[in-house]
Structure formats: structure tokens, C-alpha cells
Amino acid sequence: MRLAARVLAAALCLSVIGTLPAKAVGLLRDPDIEHALNTIASPILNAAGLGARVKVLVVNDQSLNAFVVDADHIFIHAGLLARLENARQLQSVIAHEAAHISNGHIARRMTNARTARTSAGLGLALAAAAAASGAGGAAAGIAIGTQSSAQRVLFAHTRAEEASADQAGVRYMVNAGINPDGAVEVIDIFRGQEALSVSRQDPYTRTHPLSQDRFRALQGFAAAYGGQAWPDSGAADYWFARAQGKLTAFTRAPSWTLRRAKSSATDDIRLMREAVAYHRQPDVKKAVATIDKLASARPKDPYVQELRGQILLESRNFPAAANAYGAAVSLSPKDPLILGGYGRALLALDTADGNKRALAALEKARSLDPYSSGVLRDLGMAYAKAGQNGMASLVTAERYALTGRLKDAALHAKRAEGLLPRGSAPWQRAQDVLTAAKAAPK
Ligand SMILES: [Zn+2]
């Protein structure tokens, strides 16, 4: 059984600009996990003065890293999320990255003219790519991923930046009422790595250079608040356990998950992990029975309905999947990932009415999150089925542009341009893709 359909739905392709070998960064998009991470991050982001603008996203990579490439997203590797032990540790990682944003460590690197021009046109995906390409001329090293030595260090921060991010990160935690010992615990995971050869270090050590001085200074910042009583972290701990439980259920072997599910923090987290493990075995009967049990225990939980929809959809029970996703949408009408799943299930019904409703759901998903290549692929299919070939070509062009295949993007945009009413909003979008394709260095 493959992973969740949406795993790898978005790819930030670093080959766009062409100065580095291709290395796609897959994002693991899950509405439940993203909701959990953003709930955990929210008090920290408020303390950092960033608020709800910043989203925390999971990179589908088992190595340990966290990084920022723009002012609106904090990326955390799946491997790091699985490795951390509690909410406050994750909050310290987020606080440190938030400090890199707040203290202007990113803005400085984004002033590169080429970077600015490209990222203004196509947003996040190209921003990451452009940031990567900027490394060639700029002081910053680069690397999402570990295969190529040329790509090793993504935005390697300076020691001065690390010191200021550590200090500000601890301050955000304290202001948010979170025990800053989490920061010391996290740095302890990477301790001693500065002595290892680069190939043996975790990427985190390369993006955020470590030193004994840094460790000692951080201990000092945290110790200043020693002995203080901290508010109960129950809600954050619940969401941390749930995000980690769901992530590992989708990335580790089902047998691994089933052995550990009984020691889950709560019964509902146990049921969720078991449902995913059975689904991936695959044991459809047990998976459906388990997710149904969870749904009756948490009837108002949109993410449980969403997981139910996914399990039913991937088990090819399309009408039941559409119903489950429909229930999830009515519980959380503005979640683009849930809407995307609903659209996919409706599309799978393969009826004229289903297709019409799929178009509406997918268009709404796209308007809320234009960077999901999965939604754009489904939308292309829905438009083609409806006989709207201009729109089908447009969203296909946008999907290629998003994943960095600008030549293919231009081909489909050209076709869309010829089919769409001149001067209309969709026609203008086709122009944007053509402009971006022309502007990209060959
Ligand atoms: Zn750092």
C-alpha cells in the first residue's frame, strides 16, 4: 500500500534555475498534522510578532533538519518531528526558526535581485529554488537533501545569527509561557556533531552551526528561568503526540506502529495510529472498523472524518469516501487539503454531477492554497472531463510551473492562451506562466 496519496503532492524542485543538480523536496501535506503543528506553533509565533502568517510545513525527509527560506514558512523534516520527545522541544525548534525570520536573517539573503524577481512571480516553490540558486554567488551555502556535496548546507547561518536566534528563541518561549529547557534538550540531540565530518553530521548541524560556546550560552539563557513554574502544556502535548503518531504511522512499517500504538498518549491517538497501520498493511476490514470507532468517539473532529475519507478512497469505496470527506468539509469548510481530498473523491465517482461538485471543491481548494500540485492535477482532470480544455491546459501549465518544469509549463500555457477568452482572468494567468518561463535563466 502506497503512502497517503497526498504525500509528495507538492514538490519544490530545486532544478528550476539550473545552477544546481535537480533535487526535489517533497512536502508531506496532511491537514491533521499541519493543524497540530500550527496549534503548537501559534503561541511562539505570536510571541515572535509573526502571528498566523507563518505556516509550519513538514518536509518528507527522514534526516534531522529545520529551516526557513522565506518569511512565511517554517520547514521541519519528518525525521526531526519523529525524533523529538515532547511539545516544548518542537516549540523550541519553531522558536529558533521564527527568530531567524524576525531577526532578518532571511530577508538579507532574499535581496538578491534575481531571487526577488522570480519569487514574486510564482511564490513559494520558486522562492525555494531561487534561494537555492542564489547560493552560487552569495555567501550562503545550500542544501535541501544530502546526496550531493554541492547541496549540503541550506542557508547555513553564521555563528552570530545562531547566537541571536537562540537568545530570541528562548525569549519567545518564556513570553509564551513555555519552559525554555526544551531548547537545551534539542541542542543536546546534536551535541558533539561539530566534531564529525560533514558527511556524518545531521543537516541541522550544517544549517545551524553548533559549538560548545553556543551550547553553553543557550544553557545560560534557559537557566535564567530555572525554578520557574510553567503553565500546563496539556493541549500542546496532545497535538504533538497526535502529529508524531500520525506521521510515524504513515512513514514506519505497520508492524512498528502496531507494536507501539498501545502506549499512545490517548485512546483516540491509539485508534488513529492503528487505523493507518491496518490501512497500509492493507487490511481494509480492520482499517475501516477502527476508523469508524474513532469517528464515533470524536464526531466533531474534521481530521478524523478526513482520514476516514482517505482510507475509504484508497480502498476504492468511492461513494462512502465522498460522504466522509463531505462531513470533514462541513466541520472545517476552509481547509484546502480537506477540500482537495473531497474533490478527489467526487472526481472518483465518475459521474457528471460528481464532476461538477469536484470542480467547485477543487477550485475552492486552489483559491485557498495555489501551491498544491495534487489539487492542480485533479483540477486538470475535472476540467478535461467537463470539456473545458482551455482551463484544463491552464491548470496543467500552472502545475508544471510549480514543479519547475517551465518548458512544459510554457507549452500548455500557450495552448491555454489560444483557447481562453482574450483578456479574461484565466487568460491572464496563462500570461503569467509564459512570463515566468521567459524570465527563467536557460
Ligand atoms: Zn539557526
Residue 237, domain member (yes or no): no
Residue 215, domain member (yes or no): yes
Residue 435, domain member (yes or no): no
Measured in Å, residue 208 CA sits from the centre of ligand 1 at 4
303, 32 Cβ separation under 8 angstroms: yes
Residue 117's pLDDT is 37
Structural domains counted in the chain: 1
Q: Which domain holds residue 132?
A: 27-224
Measured in Å, residue 371 CA sits from the centre of ligand 1 at 26
Residue 277, domain member (yes or no): no
Query: CA 52 → CA 42, 46, 129, 172, 304, distances in Å?
Result: 7, 8, 24, 15, 24
Kindly report, residue by residue over 332-373, the tens digit of the pLDDT: 999 999 999 999 999 999 999 999 999 999 999 999 987 777
Measured in Å, residue 69 CA sits from the centre of ligand 1 at 12
Measured in Å, residue 59 CA sits from the centre of ligand 1 at 17
Measured in Å, residue 320 CA sits from the centre of ligand 1 at 46
Measured in Å, residue 165 CA sits from the centre of ligand 1 at 6
Residue 411, domain member (yes or no): no
Measured in Å, residue 97 CA sits from the centre of ligand 1 at 6
Give how far the C-alpha of residue 177 lies from the chain's centroid of Cα atoms, to the nearest Å. 26
Kindly report, residue by residue over 131-154, the tens digit of the pLDDT: 333 332 221 222 232 223 333 334
Q: Is the confidence at residue 5, as pLDDT, over 60?
A: no
281, 257 Cβ separation under 8 angstroms: no
Residue 306, domain member (yes or no): no
Measured in Å, residue 229 CA sits from the centre of ligand 1 at 27
Contacts 24+ apart (CB under 8 A), 110-115: 110/70, 112/137, 112/138, 114/17, 114/441
Q: Is the confidence at residue 116, as pLDDT, over 60?
A: no
Residue 209's pLDDT is 82
CA distance linking residue 208 with residue 23, whole number of Å = 21
Please give the DSSP secondary-structure letter assigned to residue 158.
P
Residue 113, domain member (yes or no): yes
DSSP 338-385: HHHHHHHHHHHT-SHHHHHHHHHHHHHHHHH-TT-HHHHHHHHHHHHH
Measured in Å, residue 161 CA sits from the centre of ligand 1 at 7
398, 374 Cβ separation under 8 angstroms: no
CA distance linking residue 131 with residue 264, whole number of Å = 40
Residue 53, domain member (yes or no): yes
Report the CATH number at residue 126. Answer: 3.30.2010.10
Q: In terms of pLDDT, which residue wins out, 240 or 11?
A: 240
C-beta atoms surrounding 292 within 10 Å: 15
In terms of C-beta density within 10 A (0-12 exposed, 13-18 middle, 19 or more buried), how is residue 12 classed?
buried
Residue 207's pLDDT is 79
Look up residue 416 and give its three cell numbers: 491555454
Q: Which candidate, 404, 405, 343, places its Cα nearest to that of 369?
A: 343
